[in-house]
Structure 1
Amino acid sequence: MTELSAPPLSAPANGNIPAVAAGPRIGHALPIGAAGFAWCSLALGLATLGVLSPAGAPVILAGTFFYGGIVQLVAGFFALAAGTTFAAAFLTAYGAFWIGYSAIEVYVVPHIVESVMSAPANAGLAKEVVAAQAAHTVTQSLGIFLIAWLVVTLIFTVVSLGTNAVTVTAFLLLDLTIVSLLVAYLGASAAGAPLSAALHIAGYAEIVLAGVAFYIVLAELVNETRGRALLPLFPLVRG
């Protein structure tokens, strides 16, 4: 936490030194943003494994937009103001990711499907063939989208080696999740069906990732509240 400097107080006429008012402080932003990321990872992991019905997707997307996206993005800005650049970098990055993911599911995917279905070049084709082409276009586009995010996540993984073992584990699980989704989407069938085995690996990795992220949130909050390290994070750099 970083204290913001308070405006200096002028000395009163009687010469008495006034009490210095405590300046405003920025709280610990990491557990706030990490909780949103953990929630989204758990919900998406369950959805990926087919535990949740596709009809309930709007409920999940509301959470990914507001909790995983907006809250995490705001937490990242507060982390930046507090001087914790690494926390600010990944909180704002994944806050933007969850906002983008929500927009893709709500607006972009339907637009792609509509564009392919209504393309003049596909006017003479059977509706089932065009629908399969649209689904394949969506999965391939998601694969390209995730390639860029894998690069960003790998950078954060390398940087996390200077933090603690639990954080490194979280980023490694995120790497595994993204790679599994890449294999599932880029290896999709001609009808756009992702590879089920890779998709299931991604789903289980997301759930484990959520558990690790929730532990980070719990440890950060408990350790700060109690003023000592009750729940270890196993720092990799001493001093």
Structure 2
Amino acid sequence: MSKNSTELTVNPAPLGLAGFGMTTILLNIHNAGFFEVNAMILMMGIFYGGLAQLIAGIMEFKKDNTFGFVAFTSYGCFWMTLVGIFILEEVGFMAADSFSMGCYLFMWGLLTLGLFFGTLKGGKVGQAVFFSLTVLFFLLALAKFTGSHLIHTIAGYEGIICGGIAFYEAIAIVINDKHGKQVLPL
């Protein structure tokens, strides 16, 4: 792919980060204990956390950005699988026990930890997103493994922060791009 063809493609990262950030905030408001999982979370998980991140990941592929491709498509699939687990459980077809969900969340934590190391050549805000997401996945896994409501609630508050950082990064990229200079630090 020639350099000129990638220069004509918009930056898909804000779309992926906004989809990730907003969906993460909303799910973790639930994890912190403010409301139950409901249709709003499920639809955000399928369409904005899931589909929008898949689209952003495919666009990152077109821009020859391996990190963005892997991160956005992976987390888009995370949201879709998580919603699938919720739905299968709700309709009584099949449920995931606490141990298997702990393993699921732990594996996502390992992927995120690996991707965190990929952020070390980037901006501090991106590093903060992946560091806080790594902590979030490991806290959620620990909560599932131990059955601790307290750890789950702490994870919820940490997840709100993680999603907030991702949302900030999305908005900062859009505003900086629109102004043609750094208005908000990254």
- Return the TM-score normalized by structure 1: 0.73
Matching residue's letter, 2:93 = H
Other-structure match for 1:74 = 55
Residue 227 of structure 1 corresponds to which residue in structure 2?
180
Segments of 5+ residues of structure 2 without an aligned counterpart are none
Q: Structure 1 CA distance, aligned partners of 2:178 and 2:136? A: 32
Counterpart of 1:207 (choices 160, 163, 166) is 160
Equivalent residue for 1:101? 82
**What is the alpha-carbon distance in structure 1 between the residues aligned to residue 140 and residue 133 of structure 2?**
11
Query: What is the deviation of 1:43?
Result: 0.5
Please report how far the alpha carbon of residue 108 of structure 1 lies from its aligned counterpart in structure 2 after TM superposition. 5.0
Tell me the residue number matched to 1:163: 122
Q: Cα deviations across residues 158-214 of structure 1 (Å, max 9, x unaligned)?
A: 1110111111111111111111111110112xxxxxx11110111011110111111
Give 1:143 deviation, angstroms. 0.5
Q: Percent same amino acid at aligned positions?
A: 28
How many angstroms apart in 2 are the aligned matches of 1:52 and 1:3?
48
Higher helix share: 2
Amino acid at match of 2:151: A
Q: Does 1:25 align with 2:8?
A: yes
Cα distance between partner residues in 1 of 2:137 and 2:181: 35
Matched, 1:60 2:41: yes
Tell me the residue number matched to 1:187. 146
Larger Rg: 1
User: 1:215: how far off?
Assistant: 1.0
CA distance in 2, matches of 1:197, 1:171: 23
Distance 1:53 1:142 in 2: 18
Unaligned runs of 5+ in 1: 6-23, 114-136, 189-194, 234-239
Alignment of 1:24-173 (within 5 A): 25-54=8-37, 57-108=38-89, 110-113=92-95, 138-173=97-132
Q: Tell me, yes or no, if the aligned pair for 1:177 and 1:201 is still in contact at 8 Å.
A: no
- Check if 1:196 corresponds to 2:178: no
Q: Is the 8 A contact 2:33 2:153 kept in 1?
A: no
Residue type at the aligned position of 1:84: N
- The count of residues paired between Structure 1 and Structure 2 equals 183
Structure 1 stretches of 4+ with a deviation exceeding 2 A read: 2-5, 108-113
For residue 26 of structure 1, give the secondary structure of its aligned residue in structure 2.
Answer: coil
Give, as a single letter, the amino acid of the residue that structure 1 aligns with 2:122.
T
